[in-house]
Amino acid sequence: MPNEIVAHGAGVRECSYAEAIREALAQAMEADGRVFLFGEDVGVYGGAFGVSGDLFHRFGPERVIDTPISELGLAGAAVGAAITGMRPVLEIQFSDFITLAMEQVVNQAAKIHFMFGGKASVPLVIRLPGGSGTGAAAQHSQSLEAWFAHVPGLKVVQPSTPHDAKGLLLAAIDDPNPVLIFEHKLLYKTKGPVPVEPYRVPIGKAAVRREGTDITVVATSIMALRAEAAAQRLAAEGISAEVIDLRTLRPIDFPTVAESVRKTHRLLTVYEGVKTMGIGAEVSAMIAESEVFDFLDAPIARLGGAEVPLPYNPALEKAAVPQEDDIVAAVRRLVREGEA
């Protein structure tokens, strides 16, 4: 596999999202013999999306393990390994397939630390390639992260940049209890500056991607990139949009969101998962239940996925999830309502 890393500066260079994840895995495995990667096709094949690459050849079959197609079994093995002191990183080939492992993730991994009075930990990372845009149809294109953000005992993260993909993965591997990382499939080839040395991006801390004064746009994963692009277009119209990339869905960085809404007086949430009961609904409720509600000059708006299974047809698939034009239109409506 060709090296995707390009020099960017002293100690920093540009590389792809996939390469950043692979580098994080390699650095974690070099630093700690307890860390290992396993999942379907992560070994010789290099991963369904090429993320694990040459790790099999670098670390061998005992630390980069190809597995049978049995998500429930894999999740159970991961929980067991974590309880006994290992630090497994499990890749589920498509995030949709985590549905087959819900019992182990939700009933076991999430609850063991609590049920054993803090005497047991589950330092487990589950990597989950998800999202639409590849024509993979209804069973391979979902955004199910809100399901897991609902569960106490789990941390859920969604990096949108190569920098955060590396830093959040290393932070997740350090964490003493389960972390689910949802990696959008369309992001794997995107590039950005990434430090060479290991570093951590704090779990539970949002990033302000663009500052603004007229409206706060809270977005997740690839929607943060689309929101940034939309904000740039809106700036040409005189609308100043502040873009917040949540990065972590559980726990949510409410103080950063609240501070922004106090300043802008408007809030739009954008996420790819189905709109009903999605992560944007939680952010909206948190604002509505707080004193920040009194600062609003317009109703809170949510922009989420359509209430349908993801279509195979490319045009319909694109129509089923928010696009840059949808964000631009939603911001325009909110700003006009606030000025009316």
The catalytic site residues sit at: 71, 140
As given in the structure block, the two tokens for residue 213 are 């004064």
Categorise residue 135: left if φ over 0, alpha if ψ from -120 to 50, beta otherwise: left
For the four alpha carbons of 310, 189, 51 and 279, in that order, the dihedral sign comes to negative
- Helix spans in 40-97 (H): 55-59, 71-83
As given in the structure block, the two tokens for residue 52 are 């694990």
DSSP string spanning 95-133? Answer: GGGGGGGHIIIIIIITTHHHHTTTS-----EEEEEE-SS
- CA distances 240 to 48, 77, 152, 293, 339, Å, are 40, 49, 36, 20, 14
Residues 6+ apart with CB under 8 A from 14: 5, 6, 7, 8, 191, 192, 193, 194
Query: Cβ-count burial of 300 within 10 angstroms (0-12 exposed, 13-18 middle, 19+ buried)?
Result: buried
As given in the structure block, the two tokens for residue 193 are 């500056």
DSSP H or E segment with residue 148: helix 145-149
Cβ atoms of 270 and 303 within 8 Å: the answer is yes
- CA distances 64 to 12, 41, 303, Å, are 27, 10, 39
Cβ atoms of 268 and 215 within 8 Å: the answer is yes
Cβ atoms of 317 and 310 within 8 Å: the answer is yes
Cβ atoms of 286 and 252 within 8 Å: the answer is yes
